[in-house]
Structure 1
């Protein structure tokens, strides 16, 4: 763990071999280490997400965030790209799996890789984290308040998504879930249901729930930010990845 790192925008091979934009941050030094794929939230591949990528590098990991909206709006500002992607119903699940798989492969190709890769996502990226962990070879997954892992999206919901109940038997990695008790998507009842389903399936997981916190409590640039929940959440993430990725 240190405070010297490098960060840059690169191109990686994503779903179907498409070249897509990604943001990479790496700590200084040549020591072997794990990698982390960061899945951005619905507002997109933005400054706040890139700060999270750099934070993982500060924690000692090679970290990368693929720009999931690159095909829909290459080079567009994050807000515009997010609006374009939302108008098209969001990112297809198959594309997400391919892009995260490409990002994980990129991390494992680095000369500093110890072969282990984790994935983490926020908001829509939380659901996509679980999706990725059911379909991509990863060693640890962190779901930060992802909606519709269980439950049913309401009629008129702008994203073309279904729940992931049928995929949960294929979960490949331990799952850490971080949720606000004031959130409605996912609601506490949805978190309960997910906990019960994973327990029945014998899938290793640990959930932490926070009072006085709703959706997006990690977002330092939004009114939803809750410092106590976010600080504890980062401690849980740090310990979880140290256990499963090395660190």
Structure 2
């Protein structure tokens, strides 16, 4: 843990060579550290997500969150940018992979990087963290209640994303899953299907499901926040990264 961090906006190279806004936070000392790519939720590149980035820096990691909505709504209010992207059906999967790859490259190039990079995402970002872990060479992935990994989105939701279960054999790294027992997307049945598929292919994983918690229980600014579940979830995330991102 460290109280001395530096944080601010940087520019990274994402999918197709596009320049993206991103938020970086890192400890100020020169000790070699692992990196964490934080994938923001569908509400966007907002203050709550930036606080998560800073939390990882205080926890001893270099952390970076790319603004996945830079192309559609550069400089826009997070809510407006999210509405624009949602109306377009969400972030395309291939573009997401390219953007996370660019973020991982940026972290690996930092002077105090130890070469290890993990990814974490919440809600839609949880699905995208699983996608990144199956598409890139990473050292760890954390899926916080990522929906539509197993099933299609419901008709009428307007999302174009497809299930990712078939990518499971390609998972490149250990996976930590954090879920709520009262969640609908993903429901406990979907979590069980994913766990079985990971087991079938011999993929290292650990899943934790919290009773009395629904979707977005980490979100301190929402009624869905569940302090006990969130506290235990954070402890498990930091323990997981200590085992996977320490050289």
TM-score, with normalisation over the residues of structure 1? 0.99
Report the Cα distance in structure 2 between the residues aligned to 1:58 and 1:158, rounded to whole angstroms. Answer: 38
Aligned to 1:203: 203
Report the Cα distance in structure 1 between the residues aligned to 2:244 and 2:119, rounded to whole angstroms. Answer: 11
Aligned to 2:144: 144
Structure 2 residue runs without a partner (length 5+): none
CA contact (8 A) 2:152 2:161 kept: no
Deviations 1:5-64 (A, max 9, x none): 000101000001100000000112000010000000010000000000000000010000
Report the Cα distance in structure 2 between the residues aligned to 1:159 and 1:153, rounded to whole angstroms. Answer: 7
1:159 aligns to 2:159 (yes or no) = yes
Equivalences for 1:18-97 in 2 at 5 Å? Answer: 18-97=18-97
Aligned to 1:15: 15
Aligned to 1:219: 219
Report the Cα distance in structure 2 between the residues aligned to 1:188 and 1:8, rounded to whole angstroms. Answer: 38
Helix, strand or coil at the partner of 2:172: coil
Helix, strand or coil at the partner of 1:11: strand
Cα deviation for residue 163 of structure 1 reads 0.4
Helix, strand or coil at the partner of 1:131: helix
Structure 1 residue runs without a partner (length 5+): none
What number of residue pairs does the alignment pair up? 247
Report the Cα distance in structure 2 between the residues aligned to 1:219 and 1:142, rounded to whole angstroms. Answer: 16
Aligned to 1:99: 99
Cα deviation for residue 137 of structure 1 reads 1.5
Report the Cα distance in structure 2 between the residues aligned to 1:159 and 1:59, rounded to whole angstroms. Answer: 35
Cα deviation for residue 157 of structure 1 reads 2.1
Helix, strand or coil at the partner of 2:43: coil
Cα deviation for residue 147 of structure 1 reads 0.4
Greater shift, 46-55 or 149-158, is seen at: 149-158
Segments of 4+ moved more than 3 angstroms: none
TM-score, with normalisation over the residues of structure 2? 0.99
Report the Cα distance in structure 2 between the residues aligned to 1:137 and 1:11, rounded to whole angstroms. Answer: 22
RMSD of equivalent CA atoms: 0.7
Deviations 1:178-227 (A, max 9, x none): 00000000000000000001000100000000000000000000000000
